[in-house]
Structure 1
Amino acid sequence: MQRLIICLLLTVLFFPGKAQSLSNKKADGYRAIWFELSQKYEYGDKYSGALGTYTAKHTPLSIYSKKADKTFFVYGGTTNEDERHLLCMIGEFNHKTGMVSKPTVVYDKQGVNDPHDNPSLMIDDSGYIWVFVSGRGRARMGFKFKSTKPLSIDSFEQITEEEMTYPQPWNTKFGYFHFFTKYMGVRQLFYETSTDGIHWTDDKLLAAIPVHEGEKSGHYQTSSVFKDKKLGTFFNRHPEGNVDKRTDLYYLQTEDFGKTWTNVSGEKLELPLLKVENAARVIDYASKGKNVYMKDMGFDKSGSPVCLYIRSNGHEPGPVSAPYEWCITRWDGKGWKTSVVTESDHNYDMGSLYIDKKEWKIVGPTEPGPQKWGVGGELAVWSSTDNGTTWQKVKTLTHDSPLSHSYVRRPVNFKAPFCFFWADGNSHEFSKSELYFGDFEGNIWKLPYEMKDDFVKPTKIN
């Protein structure tokens, strides 16, 4: 018996994939994962900290369902505050009761502590909830999961296993559209479509722009949908495949479910894009020596695309790459216009863009935080009443925080008070990480880290 116990312990220690999976189990609290990339520089890691709602290239992470009157949200969770065991989680906030239910482990990433494998979210017309779990190249495959009941997070069934990273699924009037990335030695952009979620088209290459013929290149993107029909994506490029040189800004759109693609003016383009200079390029940042970090995008009331990103002088954290400028680039019907909203202190500070008919807003960690030159900071709300031309800070949401707030995410069709959600943590050292949500009035709630009951009211902290 003693030998059997020792063997079982050794199996768990050295073969974590063989341990009992927590998939489809309820967790007794909302615990976000902490992560560091382990690329060290004078002012800290290239990026590290509270990355439960990471990356900007996972979208959407949250959706409000009017039928259920609930906001559903996914995040990268973990088992305990002193562990970094990635759990792909889903939770729900009930707007009628003001309570959250215990979250569900959609997929236990046994042996993985990397939030590049975090999930994204989609809800179909019948109310079924789809969770797209990111992989990492072919070393760790991605998965699509579907709830076993409409508008329920109690259990999920696996639909696919495939190569995909940075999932960006959208429910449109034509069916399901999925932007994603494959690691082909470099990060190349693909898309696929489906009318039922079970059967998908072959993966179609969107962009693979090299500097020179025969050279490899890559891209990062953010995407959105307008009136359930027009899909748009902004993306950068990685010269020579080097993500630390990410630069330039491109835009593509389709209004017929990916059959044809155009630039913002409607000029038809052949895919994949393979040339640096093409009709989809919005800004030549390479000639300016600027790096570009994608954050969020949306459409204005006329359907013109708007992109939020940070531009800087390099990938290394600290003053060497400053200034870290929060930029808005928008199409005004005649040309592309760019304005600077504010500055922060890190390339991986991340906020979300809100576009209404009369007012545009940005919520993000634009203010200095407790860990200087680290990911995240104190949160603020910025407002524009002239279609993104000028911006003013209208509210500071957090202050005197012991930990940095990072990766503020916008729910699709958001409803107060769950207007945005995020995680906190130490930017430079391993720490506990908790989840929060808030509204534009300045109210903030913390999700329960420990839960004894199935439904609990979040703690209002501001």
Structure 2
Amino acid sequence: MIIKKIITLVVLLTQGMYGLAQGIYGEQKDEKDAIHPDAQNNIGELLNQKVDEYRGLWYMNQPLDNEYKYKYSGGLGTYPQQHNPIAIYSKEVNKTFFCYGGTDAANSTLFYMVSYYDHATGKVPKPTLVLNKNTTDAHDNPIISIDNEGYIWLFGNSHGLSRPSYVLKSKSPYDIDTFEIIPATKQEEGKEVAMNNFSYMQAWHLPDKGFVNFFTRYKYPADRTICFMTSKDGQAWSSWQRLAAIKKGHYQISTATSEKAGSAFDFHPDDPDRNGLNYRTNIYYVETHDFGKTWQTADGKKLDLPLTDIDNPALVHDYYRKKQLVYLKDIQFDEQGHPIILYMTSQGFEAGPENDPRTWHTARWTGQKWEIRDITTSDNNYDHGSLYLEADGTWKVIGPTQTGPQPYNPGGEMALWVSHDQGKNWEMVKQMTVDSEYNHTYARRPMNAHDDFYAIWADGHGRQPSESRIYISDKEGNVFMLPQHMEEEMVKLDKMP
């Protein structure tokens, strides 16, 4: 009887995810294609094996009938921006620990890969293949966290409801060799239940307070409902708190300090002519100063959550009525604790010049109002980069703003942009990659970023499956490629020309 119930549940979940996949990809034409690979209900396999290469996952989403081939595609081992952080500097051991979505030589599955950069030697070890997720969906990529005792945590995401998610923890502090699956639980209607499915996790571990996590739950009730939870030990979690469920849902990005945590998010309309995630628009912002007990806007207005109306006090800027799309990139607090949001606006979801201009912006809360300023333009909605706020007041952006070898596909050539006046004026001070074979994209900022490991990203062909390499850069924009093959246990990275 129990087995029958389990089988029934799996079928129902798979059917639910199939419906989502049809919404994303369109009706399947052949019976053999009845369940898209993104919707298959596969169980992960814990491996804890060393491999002798750094190889990123190539992934595509939504084929298009034009020369650009896909809505987005390429080397997406550091995708998406809603998974955060994927790298953390630990001053205790002078290492930057990082994770990424890896794969095998055939790009036939997703591996959870973990490694570190040793700042004392400038070397990296052979990475650890922690878990085979048994999917090729980059939405399942992991994130990383480090607790007070130095244990390394991985949160393994799932695209929708069909596959299980995982919480993993290293067996020893500051050690990447062996991880174990943690039987995480959450509170639900006063009971402790298994926590085994979540999406777009953002895990912020605060010293002496524990985990503050933002995440998404599908069909809860919106297609993508954004949520919040906390945990002191990473295993027992609070009840899930819905932040917003406007129309068809949201994508969110977040950040946290010991004083507060904040989330910026869009919404997905349900209009007849603008329906779903491809029409993401608007920017909202909410924050909590008491571990999620109460929530407010940037100017202190108290909020009753979840937000369910398009027009509400958390609105930062109305792009919905301008019929512009919004692609959130990054968020940081400045030295006054005011949020600064990095994002792009676009005219449509399809790749190609007809949806130009695609403009990078910052939205900064001044203490009195939201100040929106332009940075530059680039040629794809998924040209993702990161925002850096330095101690002297300098703002920096690292992102693929320059045209790459596959124009109008995700990514391009990486560039370093600098502003000395809080985003009023920007200058590209360095093009970090030149004459590349593939597009570079999803430059990600490590938590507590060290000058020698300031960003991590991957490359890949924008219009067809290809190999994907992993890169890091330092604060000055010098680029280093992680080794594609290793004979020795530790290898020193050489700066690219």
Compute the TM-score of the two structures, normalised by the length of structure 2: 0.86
- Quote the offset at 1:44 in angstroms: 2.5
Q: Give the aligned partner of residue 327 of structure 1.
A: 361
In 1, Cα distance between the equivalents of 2:210 and 2:259? 10
Aligned CA RMSD, in angstroms, stands at 1.7
The size of the alignment, in residue pairs, is 439
In 2, Cα distance between the equivalents of 1:20 and 1:406? 27
- Quote the offset at 1:83 in angstroms: 2.3
Q: Give the aligned partner of residue 318 of structure 1.
A: 352
In 2, Cα distance between the equivalents of 1:442 and 1:37? 30
2:239 is the alignment partner of 1:208: no
Query: What are the superposed Cα offsets for residues 229-284 of structure 1, whole Å, 9 maximum, x if unpaired?
Result: 31111000001260011000000001110011000011110111111111101111
Contact 2:44–2:132 under 8 Å retained in 1: no
Q: Give the aligned partner of residue 230 of structure 1.
A: 260
Aligned 1:117-196 pairs, distance under 5 A: 117-159=140-182, 160=184, 162-173=196-207, 174-184=209-219, 186-196=223-233
- Secondary structure of the equivalent of 1:37? strand
- Secondary structure of the equivalent of 1:320? helix
2:59 is the alignment partner of 1:35: yes
Q: Give the aligned partner of residue 429 of structure 1.
A: 464
The amino acid that maps onto 2:142 is P
The amino acid that maps onto 2:130 is V
- Secondary structure of the equivalent of 1:116? helix
| Counterpart among 98, 105, 125 of residue 73 in structure 1 | 98
- Quote the offset at 1:448 in angstroms: 0.7
In 2, Cα distance between the equivalents of 1:27 and 1:363? 29
Q: 1:76 to 1:417 in 2, by over 3 A?
A: same
The amino acid that maps onto 1:387 is Q
The amino acid that maps onto 1:360 is W
Deviates more, 1:57-66 or 1:411-420: 411-420
Aligned 1:413-428 pairs, distance under 5 A: 413-428=448-463
Query: What are the superposed Cα offsets for residues 25-81 of structure 1, whole Å, 9 maximum, x if unpaired?
Result: 11211100101114214233000001010001111110000001000011000112x
2:407 is the alignment partner of 1:372: yes
- Quote the offset at 1:425 in angstroms: 1.1
In 1, Cα distance between the equivalents of 2:444 and 2:111? 19
Query: What are the superposed Cα offsets for residues 360-405 of structure 1, whole Å, 9 maximum, x if unpaired?
Result: 0000000000001101000111111111122111111111111111
- Quote the offset at 1:323 in angstroms: 0.7
Contiguous gaps of at least 5 residues in structure 1: 1-15, 211-216
The amino acid that maps onto 1:229 is E
- Secondary structure of the equivalent of 2:74? strand
Q: Give the aligned partner of residue 220 of structure 1.
A: 251
Q: 1:22 to 1:132 in 2, by over 3 A?
A: closer
2:109 is the alignment partner of 1:85: yes
2:287 is the alignment partner of 1:256: no
- Quote the offset at 1:460 in angstroms: 2.3
Contact 2:455–2:472 under 8 Å retained in 1: yes
In 2, Cα distance between the equivalents of 1:322 and 1:455? 45
Q: Give the aligned partner of residue 3 of structure 1.
A: none
In 2, Cα distance between the equivalents of 1:166 and 1:104? 22
What fraction of aligned residue pairs are identical, expressed as a percent? 44
Contact 1:41–1:317 under 8 Å retained in 2: no
Compute the TM-score of the two structures, normalised by the length of structure 1: 0.92
The amino acid that maps onto 2:159 is R
The amino acid that maps onto 1:116 is H
Contact 1:34–1:84 under 8 Å retained in 2: no
In 1, Cα distance between the equivalents of 2:390 and 2:146? 23
Contiguous gaps of at least 5 residues in structure 2: 1-39, 185-194
